[in-house]
């Protein structure tokens, strides 16, 4: 088994897979250190870390795990190596090696996350000594929950050769985990859904009076979640092995059903010269994403964001007095920073994946100039982003009417959406460039997730115009609907980033040889 595991390590050598847990670890510890470096929290710092960590893990770990599992499994799909592997190893050895690879990755991440919080506490100067038993429990919980998510994502990546399905599932899981943390009364659902286990296993609570935090304390955890975690582990291990054992040597390769083929009514013996040529009624790039699994995330992510925002708004009516404006911040804040950038990354990666596959580059570059190809990619990605934001806007209005808001809908809503689309186009251009340069489907999506945090940090430090990932949230006034935005600077920076990444993409295509696989 050691030999089989070493083979997995050799396959992923210099593929940047270990950058995923390292980057995730840096984001979590840096963000936690920044948010807790406050005199108010020094007295309860060790408890504050254990209180905040499950929230950060629920937002970040599902997407990062999806990227990790996709990289491990997609390696075999893209190289079509399932047949070859079975001539060298038994199926059981292949399966266990990939499981152990993920386990050790999650183990190392969980240990260093716990150690990172301890080191951060001493550096910041938390009062007293940490409760090592509590931090050990946090380590075990993070390891068990994250490993279950890895097993789940590995199964999805195994079944579907199109990794957009697995990555969209990871994004939706992140949003679902965040949503379930805001509805602790839905205890059964939190225990049933594996992404909700981060919130269900929390054992530190906040003492709050009004809008003031008085302290933190240990609480009795929901011991029932332990049985669900163990049950998911058994189900995923045995179910994954059953699926893998019964998989053809070519893999599952589930594909979408074709509808309405133009040649369906043409007899098979009809000469090719007499067959009717089907002229596409849609732009080529839109045809490529028609019936694509990216629409799963398009429908679900804004919906879950709307549910989170509405639930949080109703739970804080004593402090959120601005009706529609307060509801808008609850709907758009998490979505703009944590979920829209990687979602745009999914759109961009899927658009470029078809060019990176097979020998499509040879065919594309003899029929289209580079500038037109890049323009089409950015335009379609921006169009899908527009549809996503319009869907979010529709859900916002629907939820506002549902909770009984009688005030007029804000007249600035159209401006917020328009500015959000312009800022989103800058993100589309950046992600299209990354997906062009990086042939992996998953890595640009992980960079998009990181970009959302960079954008949030840029806004917090008043450098929002320096990075494209902060422009969409600024344009949509996700932080504050009353925020005044310099429209000239906003439009200028957005256009600058779009032109910059467009030119970089064209230059990359023209200056690099075509790579096919």
pLDDT tens digits, 393-436: 898 899 888 888 888 888 888 888 898 899 999 999 999 999 88
Supply the pLDDT for residue 257.
47
DSSP secondary structure of 81-114: -HHHHHHHS-HHHHHHHHHHHHHHHHHHHHHHHH
DSSP-assigned letter for residue 208: E
Composition of the chain by helix, strand, coil, percent to 5: 70, 5, 25
Nearest to residue 232, comparing CAs of 295, 173, 301? 173
Tokens of 58: 């629920």
Residues in the chain with pLDDT values less than 70: 1, 3-4, 7, 14-16, 35-41, 79, 208-214, 248-294, 357-363, 366-367, 482-483, 513-517
Within 186-278, residue ranges assigned H as helices are: 187-192, 197-200, 224-245
Q: Give the span between the Cα atoms of 36 and 8, in whole angstroms.
A: 39
DSSP-assigned letter for residue 442: S
SS3 193: coil
Q: Report CA torsion sign: 350, 294, 174, 431.
A: positive
> b or e along 252-287 (b: 16 or more beta carbons within 10 Å of the residue's beta carbon)?
beeeeeeeeeeeeeeeeeeeeeeeeeeeeeeeebbe
CB 149 within 8 A of CB 58: no
CB 440 within 8 A of CB 67: no
Nearest to residue 352, comparing CAs of 391, 380, 317, 310? 380
Q: Which residues contact 41 (CB under 8 A, 6 or more apart)?
A: 48
Q: Give the span between the Cα atoms of 447 and 450, in whole angstroms.
A: 5
Supply the pLDDT for residue 90.
79
CB 286 within 8 A of CB 380: yes
Q: Give the span between the Cα atoms of 183 and 412, in whole angstroms.
A: 30
Specify the pTM. Answer: 0.72
Q: Give the span between the Cα atoms of 437 and 210, in whole angstroms.
A: 50
CB 152 within 8 A of CB 66: no
End-to-end CA distance of the chain: 30
Supply the pLDDT for residue 231.
92
Supply the pLDDT for residue 191.
85
340-356 and 370-402 are packed helices; what angle lies between their axes, rounded to 10 degrees? 150
DSSP-assigned letter for residue 230: H
Give the torsion through C-alpha atoms of 307, 308, 313, 319, to 10 deg. Answer: 180
| Total count of residues recorded for the chain | 517
Q: What angle do CA 485, 491, 495 make, to 5 degrees?
A: 150
Burial class (CB in 10 A: 0-12, 13-18, 19+), 153: buried
């Amino acid at each position: 088994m050691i030999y089989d595991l070493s083979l997995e390590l050799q396959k992923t050598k210099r593929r940047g897979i270990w950058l995923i847990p390292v980057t995730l670890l840096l984001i979590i510890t840096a963000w936690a250190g920044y948010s807790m470096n406050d005199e108010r929290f020094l007295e309860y710092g060790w408890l504050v870390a254990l209180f905040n960590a499950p929230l950060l893990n629920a937002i970040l770990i599902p997407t990062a795990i999806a990227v990790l599992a996709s990289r491990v499994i997609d390696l075999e799909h893209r190289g079509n190596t399932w047949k070859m592997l079975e001539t060298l190893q038994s199926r059981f050895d292949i399966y266990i090696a990939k499981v152990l690879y993920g386990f050790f990755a999650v183990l190392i991440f969980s240990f260093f996350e716990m150690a990172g919080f301890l080191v951060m506490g001493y550096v910041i100067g938390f009062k007293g000594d940490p409760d090592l038993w509590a931090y050990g429990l946090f380590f075990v919980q993070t390891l068990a929950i994250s490993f279950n998510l890895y097993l789940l994502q590995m199964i999805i990546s195994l079944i579907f050769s199109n990794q957009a399905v697995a990555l969209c599932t990871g994004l939706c899981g992140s949003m679902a985990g965040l949503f379930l943390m805001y509805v602790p009364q839905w205890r059964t659902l939190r225990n049933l859904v594996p992404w909700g286990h981060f919130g269900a296993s929390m054992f530190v609570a906040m003492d709050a009076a009004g809008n003031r935090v008085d302290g933190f304390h240990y609480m009795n955890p929901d011991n029932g979640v332990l049985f669900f975690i163990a049950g998911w582990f058994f189900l995923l291990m045995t179910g994954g092995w059953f699926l893998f054992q019964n998989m053809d040597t070519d893999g599952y390769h589930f594909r979408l059903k074709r509808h309405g083929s133009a040649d369906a009514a043409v007899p098979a013996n009809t000469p090719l010269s007499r067959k009717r040529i089907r002229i596409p009624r849609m732009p080529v790039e839109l045809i490529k994403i028609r019936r694509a699994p990216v629409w799963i995330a398009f429908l679900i992510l804004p919906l879950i964001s709307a549910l989170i925002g509405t639930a949080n708004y109703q739970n804080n009516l004593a402090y959120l007095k601005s009706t529609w404006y307060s509801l808008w911040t609850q709907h758009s804040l998490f979505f703009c920073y944590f979920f829209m950038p990687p979602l745009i990354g999914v759109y961009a990666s899927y658009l470029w994946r078809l060019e990176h596959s097979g020998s499509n580059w040879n065919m594309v570059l003899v029929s289209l100039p580079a500038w037109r190809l890049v323009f089409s990619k950015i335009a379609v990605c921006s169009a899908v982003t527009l549809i996503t934001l319009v869907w979010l806007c529709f859900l916002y209005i629907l939820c506002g009417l549902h909770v009984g808001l009688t005030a007029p809908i804000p007249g600035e809503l159209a401006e917020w959406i328009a500015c959000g689309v312009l800022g989103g186009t800058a993100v589309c251009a950046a992600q299209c460039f990354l997906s062009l340069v990086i042939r992996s489907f998953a890595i640009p999506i992980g960079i998009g997730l990181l970009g959302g945090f960079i954008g949030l940090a840029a806004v917090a430090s008043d450098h929002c115009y320096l990075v494209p990932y902060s422009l969409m949230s600024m344009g949509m006034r996700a932080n504050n609907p009353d925020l005044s935005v310099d429209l000239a600077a906003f439009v200028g920076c957005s256009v600058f980033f779009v032109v910059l990444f467009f030119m970089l993409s064209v230059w990359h295509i023209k200056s690099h040889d075509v790579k096919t696989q």
